[in-house]
Homo-oligomer: A and B are copies of this chain.
Amino acid sequence: MTDVAALAGVSAQTVSRVARDEPTVRHETASRVRAAMAQLGYTPNRAARALRYGHYGTVGMIAHRLARTGESRTVEAVVEAAQAEGYTVTLVDIASPAPHDVSAAVARLSHQDIDGLIIVRAESATPDTLALPPHLPVVVSDSRFVGHHPAVAADQAGGARAAVGHLLELGHRTVHHLAGPQDSTPARQREEAWRAALAEAGAAVVPAVRGDWSAASGYDAGTVLAADPEVTAVFAANDQMAAGLVRALHEAGRAVPGDVSVVGFDGIELSAQLWPPLTTVEQDFGEIGRRLVDLLLRQVRDGENLADTHAVVPVRLVERESTAPPPAG
């Protein structure tokens, strides 16, 4: 900056004014300064600016396994929403959802230049183990943190009930469940809602089969389910596992949806192009991302206390061709 000032024959302050497009600089002077900036390749140092201003224009985001469907789509939505508000996003991927790793990530990020923090699926962390720096605005995409931090979550239970209800209405006597891993909150919520929906409808509550979200685990579970002639309808906790399940059913010679109906969860792009196209509970990740950013920035900018806020984002059952009435007899 000093060099630019010298080259343009003005003071550093004037360079600063030009850099910030202050109107109180004569046109001629401004162009001279701009020329000097271009010649020297000058860019304002953001660290110094941030130091002066006291904020960074950046939000931190912590997630586990960024490349997964929900995560990557949430990341995309958060990045877009943050950009629209003039903020950039700094990302940290945690090694595991264990409290220790989450805390380490929080520590790492809170040492970065961030104005606020978004935690996606803190899974096994609890409010107490989070060890957040005081005064740092936070939003969590996990409803267990209500009362501690503002939270945004999809209507997991509603989605599960919709899936079960749909299958029951088609005439299935009960609905099996291909559940997600036990350390995942959404997985548990879907599983509990499935069980509750069955009980309320007076249908037989059968044991759940468990996968780990991966398509391969869905296939493995599918080989078991396919061998059981009692199984006529399965609600899978995500679309990946549903795809693996469908493959296992095909291999076992059980027609989908002729012999077995399948419902997924998430609404990944591929769900519509599977064979058969998958009936699924579609989540609005874009909305989740936008709500996360909104709740965070309201704290950052206006200092609102939103600890009790709990935004529930609705889900939608999309009926495609993987569900039908059970086989006669």
Residues of A within 8 A of B (CB): 41, 43-48, 50-51, 56-58, 65-67, 71-73, 75-76, 79-80, 83, 88-93, 108-113, 133-135, 214-216, 218-219, 240, 243-244, 246-247, 250, 269-270, 272-275, 277
User: In the complex, what residue of chain B is closest to A86 when comparing beta carbons?
Assistant: B108
A44 surroundings in chain B (CB, below 8 A): 111
Q: In the complex, are the beta carbons of B274 and A274 less than 8 A apart?
A: yes
Show 9 A/B contacts (Cβ-Cβ < 8 Å), sorted by A: A41-B134, A46-B113, A66-B79, A88-B90, A88-B91, A88-B92, A89-B90, A250-B275, A275-B275
Q: In the complex, are the beta carbons of A92 and B111 less than 8 A apart?
A: no
- Decide: A93 near B112, CB < 8 A? Known: A240-B269, A272-B215: no
The 10 nearest A-B residue pairs measured at CB: A41-B134, A72-B72, A47-B50, A215-B273, A66-B76, A67-B76, A244-B273, A47-B51, A46-B113, A67-B73
A46 surroundings in chain B (CB, below 8 A): 111-113
User: In the complex, what residue of chain B is closest to A285 when comparing beta carbons?
Assistant: B67
A110 surroundings in chain B (CB, below 8 A): 43
Q: How far is the CA of A93 from the CA of B74 in the complex (A)?
A: 13
A47 surroundings in chain B (CB, below 8 A): 47-48, 50-51, 56, 113
- Decide: A89 near B91, CB < 8 A? Known: A67-B75, A67-B76: yes
Q: In the complex, are the beta carbons of A88 and B76 less than 8 A apart?
A: no
Q: How far is the CA of A79 from the CA of B92 in the complex (A)?
A: 7
| A41 CB → nearest B CB, Å | 4
| A159 CB → nearest B CB, Å | 20
B71, B75, B108, B275: the one contacting A88 at CB < 8 Å is B108
Q: How far is the CA of A43 from the CA of B133 in the complex (A)?
A: 7
| A92 CB → nearest B CB, Å | 6
User: In the complex, what residue of chain B is closest to A109 when comparing beta carbons?
Assistant: B88
- Decide: A72 near B79, CB < 8 A? Known: A43-B110, A91-B89, A133-B41: no
A109 surroundings in chain B (CB, below 8 A): 88
- Most B C-beta atoms less than 10 A away, residue of A58, A66, A92, A246: A66
Q: How far is the CA of A65 from the CA of B250 in the complex (A)?
A: 33
- Most B C-beta atoms less than 10 A away, residue of A57, A135, A274: A274
User: In the complex, what residue of chain B is closest to A241 when comparing beta carbons?
Assistant: B273
Q: How far is the CA of A317 from the CA of B66 in the complex (A)?
A: 25
Q: In the complex, are the beta carbons of B273 and A219 less than 8 A apart?
A: yes
A111 surroundings in chain B (CB, below 8 A): 43-44, 46
Q: In the complex, are the beta carbons of A93 and B80 less than 8 A apart?
A: yes
